[in-house]
Amino acid sequence: MKHLFSLPWRRPAVSVGLAESKAATGFVALAQDGRAHWTGRSYAALAREGFMKNPVAYRAVRLICEAAAAVPLLLYEGDEERSGHPALALLAQPNGRMAGADFLEALYGHLLLSGNAYVEAVSLGEEVRELHLLRPDRVTLKEGRDGWPEAYDYRVGNHVRRIAADDGRLLHLKLFHPLDDHLGFPPLAAAQMALDLSNAAATWNKALLDNSARPSGALVYQPKEGGNLSADQYDRLKSELDEGYSGPTRAGRPLLLEGGLDWKAMGLSPKDMDFVEAKNGAARDIALAFGVPPMLIGIPGDNTYANYQEANRALYRLTVLPLIGRTAAALSGWLSGRFGEALRLAPDLDQVAGLSAERSEVWARLKDAAFLTDEEKRQAVGY
């Protein structure tokens, strides 16, 4: 087989255009725009680039949503627990397509990815029969002249349905947004740079595996007798380089250089860029934005059993329970207006598996508290 680059390097006396003369100067350097390109902050962009493409964001969202949806809700009217109330039956089966856990998991997912969640009540007469979630990217808030929400437009394809903001049919839950009076700020948007860094590192590594033999650098032509490459010689050089040294099947093939050619490496190697640590750092930032301890989603660190227990407890105390609490408070006020009575929803902490050890300690302390009456002990544990 012919050696690569065994070409007649002496340049023939031909005239070349602007493109050919640029290609035959003997040194080729490539430069790119140094600006970073970031993912948009819309619900669709964050859902696609985060939940659907990034395993860290996917696991963090699923971990929070599934844990929060698995916590049972208790209903109180005043200080009295109500076990057979229609509101509990409605939350247990919000509609014909979703069970209660599915409904709450999707609601929490909308909050984490959009910062907003919309619940619409469907009534028959005065009785609330079903609850439905509206996808956040399909809902548009319309402000009145006074700056307060006047209506919500729900768009599916070319069909638009308007829901008045003051008729009580729609509940809008949102996370705090410092720069928006009416819409919430999603946690994933705060980790947007880390998300794009993690996705870009994964894409780069995949491209490296697919085309690991394509050199990153420049071929410098410095013949002893002087002269430059002709346009034909340059095209042939580029063609043989692409055909002989690109693709996974040609990985590791050495370059055979002759005729005044020299290879100048350009760019940083994966070791220099330390992609593993960069990916782990980006993953930690994504987990931090969601409030998930990094070890719970497989990020290397102090992964001991004791630390894992503490991390699991921290997840519930610092992330899951506050999310349930704010959602339960919003649903309580909304359902109170729909049912015409003062209702209060609260999580059943005795049924939270992640807090079982903590609850056992509370029960043990109360058992030994002789200065408390049985009624006071019941109130201390939420009964």
| Residue in this structure with the two tokens 């105390």, named with its chain if needed | 317
Q: DSSP string covering 204-248, please? A: HHHHHHHTTTS--EEEEE--TT-----HHHHHHHHHHHHHHH-SG
pLDDT in tens, the chain (383 residues): 444 444 444 444 444 444 444 444 444 444 444 455 556 678 888 888 889 989 999 999 999 999 999 999 999 988 788 888 999 999 999 999 999 999 999 999 999 999 999 999 998 888 899 999 999 999 999 998 888 999 999 999 899 999 998 888 999 999 999 998 899 999 999 988 888 888 888 887 777 666 654 555 665 666 656 556 667 766 776 776 666 555 555 555 555 555 566 666 655 555 555 667 778 888 899 999 999 998 888 887 656 656 888 888 889 999 999 999 999 999 999 999 888 889 999 998 888 877 777 677 777 777 777 777 877 777 776 66
Whole-angstrom distance, CA of residue 281 vs CA of residue 287: 10
Enumerate the H helices of the chain as residue ranges: 18-23, 43-46, 55-69, 86-92, 100-114, 187-190, 192-210, 231-245, 270-273, 275-290, 305-315, 321-339, 356-367, 374-380
Q: At what angle do helices 55-69 and 305-315 cross, to 10 degrees?
A: 70
Whole-angstrom distance, CA of residue 383 vs CA of residue 365: 16
> Would you say 50 and 188 are in contact if contact means Cβ atoms under 8 Å apart?
yes
88 residue type, one letter: L
Query: In whole angstroms, how far apart are CA 294 and each of 130, 211, 280, 306, 342?
Result: 38, 32, 9, 15, 40
Q: What is the pLDDT of residue 292?
A: 93
42 residue type, one letter: S
With 0-12 CB in 10 A as exposed, 13-18 as middle and 19+ as buried, what is 177?
A: middle
Say if strands 116-124 and 73-77 run parallel, antiparallel, or are unpaired. unpaired
Q: What is the pLDDT of residue 228?
A: 65
According to DSSP, residue 47 is labeled: I
- 280-312 burial by CB neighbour count: b if 16+ within 10 A, else e? bebbbbbbbbbbbbbbbbebeeeeeeeeeeebb
pTM comes to: 0.74
The pair of three-digit structure tokens given for residue 370, joined into one six-digit string: 């002789």
| Residue in this structure with the two tokens 């859902």, named with its chain if needed | 47
Number of Cβ within 10 Å of residue 105's Cβ equals 21
